[in-house]
Amino acid sequence: MTVVIRHGVIAEVGKHPRMPRDIETISCQGCVALAGFWNAHVHFMEPKWNEAANQPVDKLDRQMSEMLNRSGFTTVVDTGSDGENTVALRRRVQSGEVLGPRIITAGIPLFPAHALPYYLDVLPADVKAKMAQPETAADAIIDVDNNRAAGYDIVKLFTGSIVSPDHITPMKVSIARAAVEEAHKHEQLVFAHSSNLEGTKVAIDAGVDVLAHTPEVTSGIDETMLRRMIAQHMTIIPTLKLFSRDDNIANIRGLAFRYHQLGGRLVYGTDTGFLQDYDQSEEFRQLVQAGLGFRDVLAMLTTAPAELFHLSQREGKVMPGMRGDLTILSEDPASGRPEAFTTVRYTIRGGKVIWRSN
């Protein structure tokens, strides 16, 4: 087959399509062409993204390739960063100056009052000072509005904040609900880091759209709760690599798989950027080990996030009229080898090659 992309949109797919004159062509015998991959949980929080508005193009190109482009990602969702840097980076990508995926960002998350996660202690004091910790519902509404005014696309809540290795502080339901209702008023999705049973209950009661991780403490999260989440059309981003060395990884995998079995939506995401090892192989291995087939994983990378963001009429499939985002692999994931998803030969966003293997 040949895929023809005109003006950033797939125009034709077939064996003998009409080829425009002077079009750039890519010969790729034996390749597998898939819709562009999404990573719905990344962070631009490493110091190398500081002053993104002024960094040299070649440096940003190299960093984007190492972190995202080489893995086939044409859209990423930043679930927490210093928004000033991320918005500047997004602007430079949108202009074509920097080669990278489309960036959807939450900017700065909202945390429970006086309960920042302990693992953020390494961040500079000026960055931590920007982190919203609303004490009332009115404060939460103001924080959501301020984030939207700063150009952020979604809202991220820590409904369960890990303040020490053995203690999780939940956000008050009234505060979380106020944030969700304000975000929904402006058609923004709300992601939550719930961490455990109590944080997950807050997320459900508040009407959150997405759990940014499978809860890492699974005790007490039963099938009744999963069915309630599904009834509310919640999505889970498993991020299994993040927990792969935890003693209870089998329970975390099982929870994500049971949610899938019951009809819940899973979307691919890895916490890349918080995890500074950018290799995706372990995430794919964990998903297959959980019981997901290659079609399930492919949906998590393509059609499921398009549905979540209400873009399925324009994205997620290789067919005429869809956005010209493609991830080209050297190996077919249908082979049953989970690492096949990492054999990226080309990453194409809007008809433009943003990464190619040597």
pLDDT tens digit sequence for 52-91: 999 999 999 999 999 999 999 999 999 999 999 999 999 9
What Cα–Cα distance (Å) separates residue 299 from each residue in 84, 144, 252, 316? Answer: 32, 31, 20, 8
The CATH number covering residue 10 comes to 3.20.20.140
Residue 121, pLDDT above cutoff 90: no
State residue 63's pLDDT score: 98
Quote the CA–CA distance of 117 and 274 in Å, as a whole number.
13
CA 93 to chain centre: 17
Question: For residue 195, what are the contacts with CB-CB under 8 A and spacing of at least 6?
Answer: 158, 159, 160, 161, 162, 168, 213, 215, 216, 217
Q: What angle do CA 52, 153, 118 make, to 5 degrees?
A: 70
Quote the CA–CA distance of 318 and 182 in Å, as a whole number.
35
pLDDT tens digit sequence for 128-151: 888 999 999 999 999 999 999 999
Question: How many domains does the chain contain in total?
Answer: 1
What pTM was estimated for this model as a whole?
0.96
Residue 302, pLDDT above cutoff 90: yes
Residue 153, pLDDT above cutoff 90: yes
Percent of the chain with pLDDT over 70: 100
Q: What is the average pLDDT across 230-253?
A: 97
Three-class DSSP category at 29: coil
State residue 320's pLDDT score: 96
Contact between 271 and 151 (Cβ < 8 Å): no
Q: How confident is the model at residue 280 (pLDDT cuts 50, 70, 90)?
A: very high
Q: How confident is the model at residue 125 (pLDDT cuts 50, 70, 90)?
A: confident
Q: Which domain holds residue 307?
A: 2-356
First to last CA, the chain: 23
Backbone angles phi, psi at 279, to 5 degrees: -65, 135
